[in-house]
Structure 1
């Protein structure tokens, strides 16, 4: 409600901004803080009034205002009421001076400018004296987290046992910086962000009292831009009134904030997801000419991608009052058509693009390049289409040769819904209705061969016989990952990606992404006593030592072992190796110390000058290069490479072989030099949310490719 003593509307008086004019004067006027109001109401009614309160929350949610209202409630006094109360219906004796911050018994201190122990000593010296005219002497310390450690320590005793006539109210936006010894002496209230519905209602009420008309979409934009801060919302509304000459219109607010029309943002999102790069650039240029900020456009695209994802998982998101009906309808349509993989990767690409645009000399150029990058990725063929090509099918979904279909592949028609030709493409608005997620095919069991597998050289498709139901000696065949060609650019430095050695070892099943991201075992884990391993359980090969290091989650030591140790002799309790160039001098000692901790036995780890075998990384790189050469010599792969000019084999993985593990951040540092940022082939790479997708970089298709063969293919 407006200040009843406000005279700003009278001629000749200075104007007061809306945030001050409509500052709440009682708990009934607070917006969106019902839990705190209910707690304080019960406490005052039961006469269980605390000696100190801690108010925390983001900027502009009412911390200082709440502190003044508390001081007013504590000292409320009228002709009929002479006790602390929440129900302050009439103006009390001390109300006006307290709300204006000039009452002699209500001391407000800004801790940002009074941080030292001397300021606290002054408060401690004053608390012993009784209030001059009010019931309580109230100390309001704003931004209390800015106090020094000495100031906090000096305040502790007074805060724990203050005189009965003294109350403390603290306010802070950084609650974690306040010592726990102070927090334990206060009642804490977390002031919440105001939800969009309450914010829109408050703005509509304020504008109604001001006699100003406003469009609903304009209020939605203001509520969204305020991020739950009432002060920010009122300040933006003040600016919008001046910008629109007394009328708050939707286009006026967009122009003021540098925003594009939400409908045009959705249109741009659709063009990008269709892969229409030229159309996306034209639409972006029109929005830019209309005054939209490039960074804000990218942020709006990311917001809409987040909205689509939220609608997919939490349909109740549609009830958000800050969303227009058209946004909800279009968001539901995209949620029904786009996969989670597509949305997560688009989000990651947009997030990176926002950072690039902020740092670029020309944000517009950075935004345009990001739109081109996403549009290009949206047009690439998906893994299912490449599988069809490998099996002898045409890109458009022509049925593969029957001889190329594995006998163990699932075939029941009921479990495999028909997938049309556009299923291999990212997005098609022409498809009618939402498309359900297809079930994942059952994995094909493969028995690993005892010897090193050789690439399969297949006869022409017409001459292929029907496969036997169960091969007597199954041979794993290499699966080549074909990556379409990137844009021409100078060749970057080669990067050797760590691949499992030829003598593969099984990583512990408990080691996942979170474990690989840890730099080293925690102190508690390192200090935990480890039982002595039995003789037959000790590692006897360098690969077994690596597996033990991986199990103990020491990715840094593992990276150094793989890169710098050329094994000469390895047995239980003894490791001799030739250090590779650049090996740290402490490698042998570090490994010896860790093995002692992990196995409970003393190990002899020493170095020799010559005679070492290739390191694990060198062996893995040689194996990778050999498999790629063999795959490129395969007739089917060669035919596929010829059909896709400029394509190349990026990785080869044998059927039944586990996927190569990704290096943790610390491991990546130890494996330097790596290729420059931007990916192995010049395009930026993403961190895939699904480990099954980690083989595909940003230049691959953005959409769910768990495709099943068409029913026509049988």
Structure 2
């Protein structure tokens, strides 16, 4: 039986064009290669799983390609490209600074830098998690980074730029990687599913993308997990069940109950959520997000801020028509206050139930506030009503 390769490795981008969601960086790098304006050191910063190491490897392969394409991509067929793809290139060195962070490791690297490349134009050093280097290692690296040999290029990658010395930062071209957008992150597993003959629902992939919080590697790990769980049929329900995510339907149903002032049904929905093992703080935070999404849906100009699939978006549009802006703002305020008080409360369930009951009676409060005041009786009439007659 063949060994299983996770999607994040099997479908790791091999060209700049296939990198997901980082066009501002890939276009800059391609232009620099085409115009022969490569810096001596690059620093790739950004959250985990957004393509920093992938881009570093593609850059290392492309600058040594013997048949560079007009669009700035590597050919993938020449000797240097093949040796890189097979993992036996003598001109690309990767160092994991998390486990090789001593000054001796950096001195060893500096010794290697003195040896010129073999059968290629550049010698590339990729240092991952560079913020893990010790102070002494950083200091030992400074001079080499400032004045390396003409054939040496350093690519540093980190998730924590603030931990790197300013003297290192000033010697590098800094590229900040973005969190990957929901649509891009949902489309990538969809393309993998088509290649692997896996059935999927768009709503399910959108839930995975939201749960991944901007990291494509996290999204692909969840995707692989759900493919195994659902026997290659990634549905909305299988994603909700496997990742233990609170279903959108709960929030829609609770909001409907709040708008109809049905306190019994609201409390029963909340009890059902607790019975399924969800935390009250998680629920109230999700309800706040739901109200925010309804508010965003109110205006066509802010609709683009709603990062959900088309099916869920239609539900938001429908429910936003029934909820007034006043109700949504007040409900968000109550939910936010409940979220702040939740951890300090001794009876946390009561804290959430109290917030839901307040939301249930918001429409009555608004109605009372807009009712015109009846004419108040004058003082003489009040005296007659209050003082008993003799």
Shorter-chain TM-score range: 0.7 to 0.9
> How much does 1:275 deviate?
5.6
* CA offsets 1:532-575 (integer angstroms, 9 cap, x no match): xxxxxxxxxxxxxxxxxxxxxxxxxxxxxxxxxxxxxxxxxxxx
2:95–2:126 contact (8 Å) kept in structure 1: yes
Query: How many aligned positions are there?
Result: 382
1: CA distance, partners of 2:109 / 2:148? 11
Asked if 1:126 corresponds to 2:107, the answer is no
Provide the residue aligned with 1:158 in structure 2: 144
1:235 equivalent in structure 2? 221
Match of 1:325 in 2: 313
Aligned to 2:337: 349
Distance in 1 of aligned mates of 2:343 and 2:69: 56
Describe the SS at the equivalent of 1:167.
strand
1:371 correspondence with 2:357: no
The answer for the alignment partner of 1:44 in structure 2 is: 33
SS of 1:168's partner is strand
SS in 2 for 1:399: coil
Among candidates 184, 207, 230, match of residue 221 of structure 1: 207
Matches within 5 A, 1:163-178: 163-178=149-164
Give 1:33-72 correspondences, 5 Å limit: 33-72=22-61
In structure 2, the residue corresponding to 1:338 is in which secondary structure?
Answer: helix
CA–CA distance in structure 1, aligned partners of residues 70 and 314 of structure 2? 50
Tell me, in whole angstroms, the C-alpha distance in 1 between the residues paired with 2:247 and 2:69.
54
Secondary structure of the structure 1 residue equivalent to 2:221: helix
Does 1:27 find its partner at 2:16? yes
C-alpha deviation, 1:113, in angstroms: 1.6
Q: 1:281 aligns with which of 256, 267, 275?
A: 267
Secondary structure, counterpart of 1:297 in structure 2: helix
Whether the 8 Å CA contact 2:294–2:320 is kept in 1: the answer is yes
Aligned to 1:400: 374
Q: Which has the higher contact order (CA 8 A, sep 6+)?
A: 2
Provide closer, same or farther for how the CA distance between residues 300 and 230 of structure 1 changes in structure 2, counting only shifts above 3 A. same
Change (3 A) 1:270 1:247: same
Change (3 A) 1:318 1:282: farther
1:287-436 equivalences under 5 Å are 287-289=273-275, 292=278, 294-312=280-298, 315-318=301-304, 320-323=306-309, 324-330=312-318, 332-333=320-321, 336-339=324-327, 341-352=329-340, 355=343, 366=348, 368-378=349-359, 379=361, 397=371, 399-401=373-375
Tell me, yes or no, if the aligned pair for 2:68 and 2:75 is still in contact at 8 Å. no
Cα shift at 1:349: 2.8
Of the structure 1 ranges 245-254 and 101-110, higher mean CA displacement relative to structure 2 is found in: 101-110
Q: Is the 8 A contact 1:73 1:88 kept in 2?
A: yes
Query: Shift in Å at residue 229 of structure 1?
Result: 1.3
Cα separation, 1, equivalents of 2:141 and 2:304 = 48
Equivalent-residue separation in structure 2 for 1:84 and 1:70 (angstroms): 15
Mapped partners of 2:247, 2:233: distance in 1: 18
- Aligned counterparts, 1:603-618, within 5 A: none
Q: 1:233 to 1:376 in 2, by over 3 A?
A: same
Residues 174, 312 of structure 1: CA spacing in aligned structure 2 closer, same or farther, 3 A cutoff? farther
Q: Deviation per CA, 1:584-623: give whole Å up to 9, x if none.
A: xxxxxxxxxxxxxxxxxxxxxxxxxxxxxxxxxxxxxxxx
1:138 aligned to 124, 136, 141, which one?
A: 124
Structure index of larger Rg: 1
TM-score norm. by structure 1 comes to 0.49
